[in-house]
Structure 1
């Protein structure tokens, strides 16, 4: 099968338009159309339904597009390995992690990584969906659970715990909170229970919601929870890593926290020798060491657990 025709087919299927595919490939619309017709004749099938608003893949076209998409991802993986240099770190690195960890912990630290590797390009993908690393939907992932995908190298980085936080101003102007039962007199800010999040976080939220609070705020991301807490709306359930970059937050009921939530870094086996992966992995590990040190230095004496 002609590789050039497959490359053109993939571009058309991805764009849904001969014109747009031609722009991407730097070919005329007529040249693209001729190649698609030739491929359909070679396969003795119709790959696209032609509509006024664009092209739609037929069932046979879907099968071929699935194959070319897989081929394209593997070619990208091979190209990435080739581009890695023994003398430097450069090129694009696709990093995926959760929205909360990415916005509140990772993104603010990337400037230090760019200082070390100014020719590196980071494509940061923040979503709760687990991307397929072997299929190169991303190069490296940081996840708040152990990855279960096959052919993936994984390493535990740290553990996160969910805790209660509020601003000093909120606590000064609100009823005192010394016991767990006192939470009923406050507005709780938490991530929505139907939003993707670790089981340990859900368990802590459900425990607190058993108290009959008159008012509450739920948000579908931890970043939204953080903004609500900083605005003085109430007491928020947040991961412990937020305290380093939000030092004005006060921990509420210091004895109360979730069980451990493990944080893993993972990447495809075929990228084991990638210098970009190694540079990012080492950077994250160094930042986590510094992060844990700051947490230990700033930790107040443990309060006694109430009866």
Structure 2
């Protein structure tokens, strides 16, 4: 039984933290866990080894003779582990290999110039792009960096940074405006056709406005992809609410209103904490932030 417990490095890791800190609370702070978790781990290890590892007293925890022997061995194990981790991290620190980035289809044409410039300066790094509305699991290695518009990701162990606030406005083609006349204001929708998503997007303010303010009979086309909104508007089907970065980067659409401040959509840069500090990830994030900072204010507002 004791032999099996020693194989559980997690329990030894907790015991080593207690020995170093001298208190459960200090170990809990270092390990970023609760006081009760540390206590449970220590109790389990002592029970498995059938020996007392620490003497409890009002000021904290002091290792017994058996505990000190185990802590010395654990220190050596930790030193060896740190050495090995350093060597492994050296692989991640090298500016080579593949960097996997995930985002939504709509942003692909806009990000491509950024990818091209990054590759021209870092040719030894291969970029792999996964376009998916589904949020890929960074903790499972499905991607290294996520570029996500909309609601702020809340997954545990994710490092989430603001990239930019994307401006949005209403857009239509010249052929549509010739057919239906000018669009005067958001308070006067009569005589106009609109394009909307199939599903609710209440976390994207411009699409939520269409869902709430445009009468159903004036919504003539629905699509489940953002790129479809743009194509439908360019073909003259109706008016679409689009990110200005998308709509104004290609010809064929006219902006009908100034971007309302309340329609801004946040763009988030997401990494897993285990990969966040690697050299490739940091280099690309810095490159992306600089590129976003150069966008004109009518397209995006950078924090």
TM-score range, shorter chain: 0.5 to 0.7
- State the match for 1:221 in structure 2: 225
The structural deviation recorded for 1:126 is 1.3
Deviations 1:254-304 (A, max 9, x none): 3657533221111111113312111211121121111135748xxxxxxxx
- CA distance, structure 2, for counterparts of residue 85 and residue 192 of structure 1: 44
The structural deviation recorded for 1:81 is 4.2
SS in 2 for 1:237: strand
SS in 1 for 2:296: helix
Asked if the contact 2:259–2:298 (Cα under 8 Å) also holds between the matched residues in 1, the reply is no
Asked if the contact 1:154–1:267 (Cα under 8 Å) also holds between the matched residues in 2, the reply is yes
- State the match for 2:140 in structure 1: 135
Matched, 1:147 2:153: yes
Which structure would you say has the larger Rg? 2
- State the match for 2:91 in structure 1: 83
Asked if the contact 2:169–2:206 (Cα under 8 Å) also holds between the matched residues in 1, the reply is no
- CA distance, structure 1, for counterparts of residue 165 and residue 237 of structure 2: 28
**Structure 2 stretches lacking a partner, 5+ long:** 1-84
- State the match for 1:40 in structure 2: none
Runs of 4+ in 1 over 6 A off after TM superposition: 77-80
- State the match for 1:111 in structure 2: 116
Asked if the contact 2:244–2:299 (Cα under 8 Å) also holds between the matched residues in 1, the reply is no
Q: Pick closer, same or farther for the CA change 1:295–1:142 going to 2, 3 Å.
A: closer
SS in 1 for 2:111: helix
Asked if the contact 2:172–2:254 (Cα under 8 Å) also holds between the matched residues in 1, the reply is yes
RMSD: 2.9
- CA distance, structure 2, for counterparts of residue 244 and residue 256 of structure 1: 16
Q: Pick closer, same or farther for the CA change 1:216–1:263 going to 2, 3 Å.
A: same
What is the TM-score with the length of structure 2 in the denominator? 0.62
- CA distance, structure 1, for counterparts of residue 115 and residue 273 of structure 2: 24
Q: How do residues 1-307 of structure 1 correspond to structure 2 at under 5 angstroms? A: 81-85=89-93, 89-101=95-107, 103-144=108-149, 145-180=151-186, 182-194=188-200, 198-210=203-215, 212-213=217-218, 216-246=220-250, 248-254=252-258, 258-292=262-296, 295=299
